[in-house]
Amino acid sequence: MTSANPAPADNAIDIGAHIRDAIREAIVERRLAPGTKLSENDVGSLFNVSRTLVRAALQALSYEGLVNVEKNRGAFVAYPSVTEAQQIFATRRLLEPVILREAAPHIGKAQIKELRELLAEEERLTNQRGAPARRAEIKASGDFHLAVAAISGNAILMRFMDELVARSSLVIALYGQSVISSCGHNEHQQIVDALEKKDVEGACTLMLRHIDHIEADLDLRLTKKGGGLRDAFHV
Amino acid sequence: MTSANPAPADNAIDIGAHIRDAIREAIVERRLAPGTKLSENDVGSLFNVSRTLVRAALQALSYEGLVNVEKNRGAFVAYPSVTEAQQIFATRRLLEPVILREAAPHIGKAQIKELRELLAEEERLTNQRGAPARRAEIKASGDFHLAVAAISGNAILMRFMDELVARSSLVIALYGQSVISSCGHNEHQQIVDALEKKDVEGACTLMLRHIDHIEADLDLRLTKKGGGLRDAFHV
DNA sequence: GTCCTTTTAATTGTATACGATAATAGGCAA
DNA sequence: TTGCCTATTATCGTATACAATTAAAAGGAC
What are the two backbone dihedrals, phi and then psi, of residue B161, each rounded to the nearest 5 degrees?
-65, -35
Size of chain B, expressed as the number of residues it contains: 235
Task: Give the per-residue pLDDT at A24.
Answer: 96
Nearest to B79 among A3, A155, A160 (CB): A3
Task: Give the per-residue pLDDT at B219.
Answer: 86
The 8 Å CB, 24+ separation contacts for A134-137 are A134/A179, A134/A180, A135/A29, A135/A30, A135/A31, A136/A29, A137/A180
Residue B146 contacts residue B158 (beta carbons within 8 Å) = yes
Task: Give the per-residue pLDDT at A183.
Answer: 60
Of residues B6 and A147, which shows the higher confidence score?
Answer: A147
Is pLDDT at A51 greater than 80 in this prediction?
A: yes
Is pLDDT at A167 greater than 50 in this prediction?
A: yes
Of residues A60 and A179, which shows the higher confidence score?
Answer: A60
Chain A neighbors of B20, CB-CB under 8 A: none
Average pLDDT, chain A: 88
Is pLDDT at A44 greater than 70 in this prediction?
A: yes
Q: 3-state DSSP call for residue B70?
A: strand
Task: Give the per-residue pLDDT at A221.
Answer: 67
Cβ neighbors of A186 (< 8 A, separation 6 or more) are none
Which nucleotide's C1' atom has the smallest distance to the CA of B38? D11
Residue type present at position B43:
V
Write down which residue in A60, A80, A100 finishes a domain.
A80
H or E segment at A64?
helix A51-64
Please tell me the least confidently modeled range out of A44-53, A66-75, B171-180, B221-230: B221-230
- C-alpha–C-alpha distance, residues B24 and B27, integer Å: 5
Q: Are residues A60 and A96 in the same domain?
A: no
Q: Are residues B48 and B115 in the same domain?
A: no
- C-alpha–C-alpha distance, residues B69 and B55, integer Å: 10
Report, as an integer, the average pLDDT of B23-32: 92
Of residues B134 and B52, which shows the higher confidence score?
Answer: B52
Domain CATH code at residue B66: 1.10.10.10
Chain A neighbors of B70, CB-CB under 8 A: 7
Size of chain A, expressed as the number of residues it contains: 235
Residue A85 contacts residue A45 (beta carbons within 8 Å) = no
Report, as an integer, the average pLDDT of B151-156: 97
Residue A32 contacts residue A23 (beta carbons within 8 Å) = yes
Pick from A234, A223, A87, A59: which is nearest to B17 by CA? A59
Report the chain A residue with the minimal C-alpha distance to residue B102. A94
> Would you call A71 an interface residue with chain B, using a CB distance cutoff of 8 Å?
yes
Q: Are residues A32 and A86 in the same domain?
A: no
Domain residues for the domain of B86 are 82-216
Report, as an integer, the average pLDDT of A86-93: 97
- C-alpha–C-alpha distance, residues A160 and B159, integer Å: 10
Evaluate whether residue B2 is within a structural domain: no
Is pLDDT at B4 greater than 70 in this prediction?
A: no
Asked whether the ipTM of the predicted complex exceeds the cut of 0.90, the reply is no
Evaluate whether residue A224 is within a structural domain: no
Evaluate whether residue A114 is within a structural domain: yes
Q: Are residues B75 and B93 in the same domain?
A: no
- The alpha carbons of chain A give a radius of gyration, in whole angstroms, of 18
Q: Are residues B61 and B115 in the same domain?
A: no
Chain B neighbors of A155, CB-CB under 8 A: 84, 87
Report, as an integer, the average pLDDT of A50-61: 97
Cβ neighbors of B47 (< 8 A, separation 6 or more) are B15, B18, B19, B22, B53, B54
Evaluate whether residue B164 is within a structural domain: yes
| Closest Cα in chain A, distance from residue B120 (Å) | 31
Q: Are residues B114 and B204 in the same domain?
A: yes
Q: Are residues A134 and A184 in the same domain?
A: yes
Evaluate whether residue A199 is within a structural domain: yes
- The alpha carbons of chain B give a radius of gyration, in whole angstroms, of 18
Write down which residue in A45, A80, A115 finishes a domain.
A80
Chain A neighbors of B34, CB-CB under 8 A: none
- C-alpha–C-alpha distance, residues B131 and B128, integer Å: 9
Quote the percentage of chain B above a pLDDT of 70.
86
Which nucleotide's C1' atom has the smallest distance to the CA of A38? C11
Evaluate whether residue B166 is within a structural domain: yes
Is pLDDT at B94 greater than 60 in this prediction?
A: yes
Q: Are residues A76 and A88 in the same domain?
A: no
- Using a 10 angstrom Cβ sphere, with 0-12 exposed, 13-18 middle and 19 or more buried, the burial of residue A120 is exposed
Pick from A69, A86, A85: which is nearest to A77 by CA? A69
Evaluate whether residue B33 is within a structural domain: yes
Task: Give the per-residue pLDDT at B114.
Answer: 97
> Would you call B15 an interface residue with chain A, using a CB distance cutoff of 8 Å?
no
Strand C contact with B41 (CB < 7 A): no
Nearest to B68 among A3, A88, A154 (CB): A3
Is pLDDT at B49 greater than 80 in this prediction?
A: yes
- C-alpha–C-alpha distance, residues A40 and A47, integer Å: 11
Evaluate whether residue B7 is within a structural domain: no
> Would you call A9 an interface residue with chain B, using a CB distance cutoff of 8 Å?
yes
Q: Are residues A96 and A196 in the same domain?
A: yes
A201 CA to D15 C1' in angstroms comes to 55
Residue environment code for B11-31, b if the CB has 16+ CB neighbours within 10 A, otherwise e: eeeeebebbbbbbbbbbbbbb
H or E segment at B207?
helix B200-216
Question: From residues 174-233 of A, which are strand D contacts by CB within 7 A?
Answer: none
Q: Per the CB < 8 Å rule, is A4 touching B79?
A: no
Q: Are residues A92 and A120 in the same domain?
A: yes
Name the domain count of chain A.
2
* Distance of alpha carbon A178 from the chain centroid: 18
Of residues A139 and B205, which shows the higher confidence score?
Answer: B205
A84 CA to C4 C1' in angstroms comes to 39
Domain CATH code at residue A98: 1.20.120.530
In tens, the pLDDT along A180-230 reads: 555 667 899 999 999 999 999 999 999 999 999 999 989 876 555 444 555
In tens, the pLDDT along A63-86 reads: 999 999 999 999 999 999 999 999
Is pLDDT at A8 greater than 80 in this prediction?
A: no
Of residues A58 and B131, which shows the higher confidence score?
Answer: A58
Which nucleotide's C1' atom has the smallest distance to the CA of B42? D11
Of residues A4 and B70, which shows the higher confidence score?
Answer: B70
Q: Are residues A101 and A202 in the same domain?
A: yes
> Would you call A1 an interface residue with chain B, using a CB distance cutoff of 8 Å?
yes
Task: Give the per-residue pLDDT at B52.
Answer: 97
Residue B137 contacts residue B26 (beta carbons within 8 Å) = no
| Closest Cα in chain A, distance from residue B200 (Å) | 16
Size of interface A-B (CB pairs under 8 A): 62
Q: Are residues A212 and A134 in the same domain?
A: yes
A162 CA to D26 C1' in angstroms comes to 49
Q: Within the 88-117 window of chain A, which residues sit less than 8 Å (CB to CB) from chain B?
A: 88, 90-91, 94-95, 98, 102
Report, as an integer, the average pLDDT of B58-65: 96
Is pLDDT at B184 greater than 90 in this prediction?
A: no
Q: Per the CB < 8 Å rule, is A3 touching B164?
A: no
